[in-house]
Amino acid sequence: MRELVVERASIAVSKEPSTVISAKSLGSTLAIVATDPEAGVCGIGHCILPVATGDSTNLPDVIEQMRDLFKHMLQEGAGAKDMRIMLCGAATFLEEPSEMALGVKLYKRVVQALKKNGLSIGGEHVGGPLNRSVSIEVGASKAKVVLPDKKEIYI
Cβ burial, residue 68 (10 Å; 0-12/13-18/19+): middle
Question: Taking a C-beta distance cutoff of 8 angstroms, is the pair 91, 103 a contact?
Answer: yes
Please give the domain boundaries of the chain with CATH numbers for all domains: 2-154 (3.30.1330.200)
Sequence-ordered list of residues with C-beta below 8 angstroms from that of 53, at least 6 positions apart, any chain: 59
Instruction: Give the model's pLDDT for residue 93.
Output: 77
Question: What is the predicted pLDDT for the residue at 73?
Answer: 97
Running along the chain, 155 residues long, what does each successive block of 10 average in pLDDT? 94 96 96 96 91 65 91 96 95 73 88 91 94 96 96 97
The closest of 7, 22, 48, 35 to 145, measured between CA atoms, is 22
Q: What is the pLDDT of residue 96?
A: 67
Tell me what pLDDT residue 50 has.
Answer: 72
Please tell me the pTM assigned to this model. Answer: 0.92
